[in-house]
Amino acid sequence: MKELVLGGARSGKSRHAQRTATALGRDVVYVATATAGDDAMAERIRRHREDRPAEWRTVEEPVELARVLREHAVPEACLLVDCLTLWLSNCLAADVWSDQRLALLELLPRLPGPVLLVSNEVGQGVVPMGELSRRFVDEAGWLHQDLAALCDRVTFVTAGIPQTLKDTNR
């Protein structure tokens, strides 16, 4: 099972993904993509760490997501990635986006065991004025479309309420 969990900032998407992972009753490998570039982000990372069950294994990787998923994927474990838009930002800043994106899209269908991918939906507002912001929104939207096509389930979370957009198992 591969699931893409989308939602806005503070929508409850991470909480939903964590509950889903817990309900699977498997070992969980939590792949964190955030980097603490300022005090506010450091605080957000701290809160996310506290929210995760202590028995989950955490792997922090801001750029090489496909490599980490390949290394930690086993049929009996669930991989939970939080979050793809932070990963996108990191890859754009390192100028490695095209290669990293392709690596993830090629690897995802071959991964054994469940995979939960958490990402911010950023394409529901106005088109940004700045070139970098526009590229970020465009790339996130294209990534989400490609992942949605590859995933068995796509869930959109608003105000803590999950809405199933796609479920091939129904």
Six-digit token pair at 118? 């958490």
Q: What region does 25 belong to: left with phi over 0, alpha with psi -120 to 50, or beta?
A: left
Is 48 an annotated catalytic residue? yes
* C-alpha dist (Å) from residue 80 to 26, 29, 69, 98, 136: 12, 6, 9, 22, 22
Q: How far is CA 5 from CA 18, 36, 55, 147, in A?
A: 11, 23, 22, 10
Catalytic entry in 16, 48, 72, 144:
48
* Amino acid (1-letter code) at residue 83: C
- Residues with catalytic annotation? 48
